[in-house]
Amino acid sequence: MIDNKENFYKNIIENSNSVIFKTDNNGKITFINKNALQLLEYDLEQLLDTQCYNNIFSHNVSKNEVKTIIKDFTSNKIQNCQALLYSVTNSGEYK
């Protein structure tokens, strides 16, 4: 039963039209879904284990702001958050 639920949610995340990624406490990307890779024009190897504020977020958000959001999530200071962040593709286009 657990395997079915895990596969169900994994399938949703992998096939979502949204950009979904996971970071560790320091902002290093540990997971990124296929749609994000396609939208941002990166290969998995180019983003995995890199800092999200160095390559996913545009310069309209500072490194410290991204670090603060990640820290607040991981310490449960905030339960959910929405932010309008523009991403920069591998070719330099803002999306």
pLDDT, tens digit, 9 for 90 and up, residues 53-69: 776 665 566 667 767 76
| φ and ψ of 30, to 5 deg | -110, -15
State the Cα torsion 8-10-13-15 to the nearest 10°.
Answer: -80
Report the mean per-residue pLDDT for the chain.
75
pTM: 0.63
* pLDDT band (50, 70, 90) for residue 88: low
User: What's residue 84's pLDDT?
Assistant: 45
95 pLDDT higher than 70? no
DSSP letter for 23, please: E
